[in-house]
Structure 1
Amino acid sequence: MTLTGYVFLITLLVASEVSYLRLAQYFGIVDKPNERSSHTGQTIIRGGGVLFWIAAWGAFVFTYFDFPYFFAGLSLVAAISFLDDLHSLANRYRISIHFVGIGLMLYQATGFEVEFWIMGVLLIMGVGILNAYNFMDGINGITAFYSLVAVGTFWYSHMQYVPEGAINNALLPFTLVALLIFSYFNARSRAICFAGDVGSVSIAFIILYALVVFIKASHTYLPILFLAVYGIDSVLTITHRLYLRQNIFQAHRLHLFQLLVHKKQWSHLRVSAWYALVQLGINGLILATLHRPLVAQLTLTAVILVVLTSMYVIVKSRLMKVNLDTTVLKAKGPIY
């Protein structure tokens, strides 16, 4: 696309975001703090991430309606997520639509040219990743920064390794522009808007599509590690909550990035930047190892997973111990 085309795209997306923010403010589509919220006393607009669907729609139109099954799946999950932003929906309704949407995306990416049981595993994993990614929208900047790293990496890697026509070639650059614009409104000490369910699920859906296409083209599952940092946080946090016998679908503050904000008192943007920078470093290692022998890929995978898991366990255990010690001291009362 030409420079003039990008200027037009930026103008369109900025106008769309500003228009949505005004409409959302008028109709009261604002964040309602819950147990995972990191903001109090602030009125923050919810659903600003609808811009990601608008960018995908722009790519769909720009390519003369290329990849219709992907866009249909994206539109379904975005619509049900936006309804959930307006009025909380039962999990069974959201999850059902997520399965349909992921199924359409997988058909677009693979043509179902894989064994039945593999398709079942991919469906379950896809829905799981959509919902895990949705919980990321808890602190300022993390969805924006982390997604910028993911989409930027996929855009670069697709240009290098994915055959022409395997994916909508406008999708990733359009999405990257939308993320940069969203970052202006979200990645600040006092955010103007959150991505909302519609934004978090939409960007996760786009990233999943790029991941599946890249895995198919590269003939290796190593690119899954492009989501390793948040993936480890999500899997281990879910494991921790199951151990505590908590409902994993309810809001909480047990993600490591949440604890760094609430217990370590790090700023939102500092935590968000660290998550993105660590993932960016990992992505560089993955790209350098992509066409190395299988032994090298397995070794890198093991090292990354062991290091990230160890960091999560050590840091989180210390933060939880600080919280426990503080609670005990308060219970004992003042010492004379």
Structure 2
Amino acid sequence: MNYPIIHAIASLVLSIAATAYLVPNIIRIVRFKKLMDNPNERSSHSSATPSLGGMAFFIVLIISLYFNHTFDTYGVATSFYPALTILFFLGLKDDLVVLAPSTKVAGQTIASLFILMNPKFEINSFHGFFGINHIDHWLGIGLGLFIMLAIINAFNLIDGIDGLASSIGIVAFSGFAVVFFFAGRHFFGLTSLVMVGILTGFLFFNLSAKNKIFMGDTGSMLIGFMVGVMSIRFLSLDIASLSKLPFNAFDVPIILVSFIIIPLFDTARVFTIRVLNGKNPFSADRNHLHHILIDSFRISHRKASFCIASVNIACVLIFSVLLKLTNTYVAFTIILLFCALALLFLYRIKQVVIKRRTISRSTIKKHREKFTHQKDSNDQTRRLLASKWLFPK
């Protein structure tokens, strides 16, 4: 047992150090080649900022898989290499020349299938959750693909302000690391720790005022993909592994949701609003949770990311306590009630933002009309004085 612990500490520390070394070099290259992320009307930054920070994620993760392969007792690491390579080039191209949503989804589907076709990632049971004890092979692959695509795009969409995707990713991968080490799946526990280290090392630069860099779609899709991989592996654990966990097997779906509730909740909410308004679900707007917090309370990116990540941590703790104190169905009902209250709260403060903007626009319009009226009056006075001076009676 001592050997995995030492390996875990080394994986975490070295991944932080490797990311901290690579990111400044990427910043210099991006600035030299002028591959900057220029602000637009929806951007949260006001000046051109280096992007492509996700390149460091890919490099460190691929190297870590080589060193951690001794713990890969089922040989699943081979599924990672083609999948991560596809996602890397897909994200890189999207950062340099924007891709259509359909192209991104097609690439994400191919990458996900490299994982899902491995038998160790097959979801064949929910172990009694809502009475589901058996899932057909192809239905399990379809369900796994839906989960993968949902999580990848959820993390892609929440990457809208500094530190948010990284913070939520750290919370999720920390939870997965604990679960997999308890279950005796050290390869996935170590890989989760590597992702925690990568995101921690990147966070220092993402929140920096002088040496800032964005992860770009290269990074956000890789985070979402790895969270999706860990989610599928969590759901596909066998009974022997689940028996080692400090909770019941049929509680796994709720524990999983608690790890990633913020991106799932926000994406489902935003997609629903866009569809109800007759818009494309992938169209851009400022209805995301982080936008509402910033627009309503006028707080910084750091504070907004910290608040949202804290809520995610609180959800993990609250859901865990609920499962200990009540049964699964009562806990699930309370969670749905919590989500409903959250939707109501966000609707209320969104209305406040809209009202504030309406008042602000009305005030600006009044000032503009007053200024125009004063200017017209002054011009009329000048013309009258000039006429009296040029043509005296």
Class of the TM-score when normalised by the shorter of the 2 chains: 0.7 to 0.9
Describe the superposition over 1:26-74 as per-residue Cα deviations: whole angstroms up to 9, x where unpaired. Answer: 122221334542122x221112132222232122110348511133212
Q: Does 1:224 align with 2:257?
A: yes
Q: Does 1:119 align with 2:129?
A: no
2:286 alignment partner AA: R
Q: Is the 8 A contact 1:49 1:199 kept in 2?
A: yes
- Structure 1 length-normalised TM: 0.88
Q: Which has the higher contact order (CA 8 A, sep 6+)?
A: 1
Deviates more, 1:234-243 or 1:42-51: 42-51
User: Which among 113, 127, 145 is matched to residue 167 of structure 2?
Assistant: 145
Q: CA deviation at 1:164?
A: 3.1
- Structure 2 length-normalised TM: 0.76
Describe the superposition over 1:93-148 as per-residue Cα deviations: whole angstroms up to 9, x where unpaired. Answer: 22111001111122344257652123213212321221121011111111121111
Q: Is the 8 A contact 2:173 2:196 kept in 1?
A: yes
CA 7–264 in structure 1, closer or farther in 2 if over 3 Å, else same: closer
Residue equivalent to 1:110: 121
How far apart, CA to CA, are the structure 1 residues paired with 2:102 and 2:345?
Answer: 36
CA 8–99 in structure 1, closer or farther in 2 if over 3 Å, else same: closer
Residue equivalent to 1:275: 308
Residue equivalent to 1:32: 38
Taking only aligned residues, the RMSD between alpha carbons, in angstroms, comes to 2.7
Q: How does 1:81-92 map to 2 (within 5 A)?
A: 81-92=91-102
Describe the superposition over 1:240-283 as per-residue Cα deviations: whole angstroms up to 9, x where unpaired. Answer: 11112222222221112112113321111111111111111211
Residue equivalent to 1:299: 330
CA 185–137 in structure 1, closer or farther in 2 if over 3 Å, else same: same
Q: How does 1:309-328 map to 2 (within 5 A)?
A: 309-327=340-358
2:235 alignment partner AA: I
CA 181–96 in structure 1, closer or farther in 2 if over 3 Å, else same: same
The count of aligned residue pairs is 331
Residue equivalent to 2:273: 240
How far apart, CA to CA, are the structure 1 residues paired with 2:100 and 2:357?
Answer: 37
CA 297–50 in structure 1, closer or farther in 2 if over 3 Å, else same: farther
Residue equivalent to 2:230: 210
Q: Is the 8 A contact 1:78 1:202 kept in 2?
A: yes
How far apart, CA to CA, are the structure 2 residues paired with 1:21 and 1:36?
Answer: 23
Give the fraction of aligned pairs with identical amino acids, expressed as a percent. Answer: 21
Residue equivalent to 1:129: 151
How far apart, CA to CA, are the structure 2 residues paired with 1:312 and 1:130?
Answer: 23
How far apart, CA to CA, are the structure 1 residues paired with 2:80 and 2:117?
Answer: 8
How far apart, CA to CA, are the structure 1 residues paired with 2:209 and 2:166?
Answer: 14
